[in-house]
Amino acid sequence: MDSVVGSLNKTLISLFSEISLDVSLLFLVAVIIPGIVIFLIMTVNAIVAVYMERKVSAFMQDRLGPMEVGIFGFKGGKKFWGGIGQTIADAIKLLVKEDIIPKDANKFLMVLAPFIIFIGAFVTFIGVPFSNGLVISDFNIGILYVIAMSSVGVIGIILAGWASNNKWSLYGAMRAAAQIISYEIPIGLSLLLIVIVVGSLEMSAIVNWQAENRWFIIHSPFALLGFLIYFISGVAETNRVPFDIPEAESELVAGWMTEYSGFRWALFFLSEYTNMLIVCIIASIVFLGGWLSPFQLFDIPGIEIPESFFVLDGFYMGMFWLLLKTVLLIFVMMWIRWTFPRLRVDQLMYLCWKVFIPFALANLVFVCIWELLF
């Protein structure tokens, strides 16, 4: 098992072998270090993604976006990266904001809810690899674990909506519950198709299969359809436009987040962008070849590819390729968000139960036939 915790533990044991330390204590340290790293990844992702979102939206709306706040005196001036410190300033503002809990709210649940959502996003990362072997723990049930954990957040959303004691929040929470739980099914079904082909739930096995054969996005028309269903459902899972019905700012004010502010709201925000990252990373790993170099795609017989291109497939370049694919998918998500209007609740449910699920099920059958034939 090639995992970070295991190798860290081994390193620590070999490092501190002279000092007689308890082995279980060392194991605890080996667990805490990745935890901190995950938290840093989440924070950095949120800061970068929010800045990116603001700049992408500004670009699409013919605006400049944030242009004023710099970091360490580096302001960027009139260049396109102006206002690079904006999200950091926003984060500080949120952290020092007054903490408001409404009088009639259920205090305990209201405080608890953001943490449940946060933990849901946090623990998902245990199974998410960032490169070949760079994963906290490469379970043999990797995909199942990631799907299961990424839907833990919905409990927090329902709690937040109920505990706020606000009608808008309640509406938002009910919508979120219906939406997120429904869209779990097409996500599961479209990932199941890959699992059938590969014969394993392990993330590394899926990427290795793609290295030996083909990326799944060009594997068969059915896998491509599976990718589309997965990605669109993923957008719905992360509550983004055109599926931002639980928040629906023009209808429900801020949906289930209406009564939250400051630090708790920042946690919601953090988890939201983390979920976005997770959906995109999983899409890249499962359908777009994960940490494999895209040059592998051009492996057409008769055309010689210089040897140096394959150097790009190493551990660090793998990280680069995976991040590149993920950022591209995140950009597509933002592109969708700033282009489309919002669906209505019943239309959203129609799309899920009467379009995606039948198609995903049929897809599953066809991909089996395809596998038998080719």
In the complex, minimum distance from the CB of residue 241 to other proteins, in angstroms, rounded to a whole number: 6
- Between residue 253 and residue 292, which ones bind other proteins under the rule CB under 8 A? 253
* Residue of 18, 98, 104, 307 that binds other proteins (CB under 8 A): 104
User: Which residue, 202 or 244, is less far from other proteins as judged by CB?
Assistant: 244
Half-sphere exposure of 212 (CA within 13 A, CB side): 7
DSSP letter (8 states) at residue 93 = H
In the complex, minimum distance from the CB of residue 229 to other proteins, in angstroms, rounded to a whole number: 17
User: Which residue, 147 or 170, is less far from other proteins as judged by CB?
Assistant: 170
For residue 77 the two structure tokens come to 């001036």
For residue 43 the two structure tokens come to 């924070």
* Integer Cα distance of 128 and 288 in angstroms: 15
Q: Does 345 contact other proteins by CB under 8 A?
A: yes
For residue 367 the two structure tokens come to 């991909």
* Integer Cα distance of 363 and 219 in angstroms: 13
Q: Does 251 contact other proteins by CB under 8 A?
A: yes
Comparing CA positions, the residue from 157, 150, 156 lying closest to residue 125 is: 150
- Between residue 105 and residue 124, which ones bind other proteins under the rule CB under 8 A? 106
- Range in contact with other proteins (rule: CB under 8 A) among 60-68, 76-84, 130-138, 141-149: 60-68
Please list, in sequence order, all residues whose beta carbon lies within 8 angstroms of the beta carbon of residue 258, skipping any fewer than 6 positions away: 164, 166, 168, 169, 172, 252
* Integer Cα distance of 228 and 230 in angstroms: 5
User: Which residue, 10 or 167, is less far from other proteins as judged by CB?
Assistant: 167
* Integer Cα distance of 370 and 193 in angstroms: 11
- If DSSP codes are grouped into helix, strand and coil, which group holds residue 314? coil
Q: Does 103 contact other proteins by CB under 8 A?
A: no
Q: Does 349 contact other proteins by CB under 8 A?
A: no
* Residue of 67, 117, 241, 280 that binds other proteins (CB under 8 A): 241
Q: What is the tally of helices (H) and strands (E) in the chain?
A: 15, 0
User: Which residue, 57 or 261, is less far from other proteins as judged by CB?
Assistant: 57
* Integer Cα distance of 316 and 215 in angstroms: 20
Q: Does 10 contact other proteins by CB under 8 A?
A: no
- Range in contact with other proteins (rule: CB under 8 A) among 55-63, 179-187, 190-198, 257-265: 55-63
In the complex, minimum distance from the CB of residue 239 to other proteins, in angstroms, rounded to a whole number: 12
* Integer Cα distance of 329 and 362 in angstroms: 26
* Residue of 14, 20, 24, 250 that binds other proteins (CB under 8 A): 250
DSSP 320-352: HHHHHHHHHHHHHHHHHHTT--PPPHHHHHHII
- Range in contact with other proteins (rule: CB under 8 A) among 109-117, 131-139, 220-228, 247-255: 247-255
* Residue of 28, 347, 353, 355 that binds other proteins (CB under 8 A): 347
Half-sphere exposure of 323 (CA within 13 A, CB side): 13
- If DSSP codes are grouped into helix, strand and coil, which group holds residue 7? helix
Binding mask 148-187 for other proteins (x = CB under 8 A): -----------------x-x--xx----------------
- Range in contact with other proteins (rule: CB under 8 A) among 130-138, 180-188, 202-210, 237-245: 237-245
User: Which residue, 174 or 364, is less far from other proteins as judged by CB?
Assistant: 174
* Integer Cα distance of 206 and 199 in angstroms: 9
- Range in contact with other proteins (rule: CB under 8 A) among 182-190, 209-217, 238-246, 264-272: 238-246
In the complex, minimum distance from the CB of residue 179 to other proteins, in angstroms, rounded to a whole number: 13
In the complex, minimum distance from the CB of residue 105 to other proteins, in angstroms, rounded to a whole number: 9
C-alpha separations of 3 from 131, 246, 279 in Å: 11, 37, 21
In the complex, minimum distance from the CB of residue 234 to other proteins, in angstroms, rounded to a whole number: 18
Q: Catalog residues that contact other proteins under the rule CB under 8 A.
A: 57, 60-63, 104, 106, 165, 167, 170-171, 241-242, 244-245, 248-253, 338-347
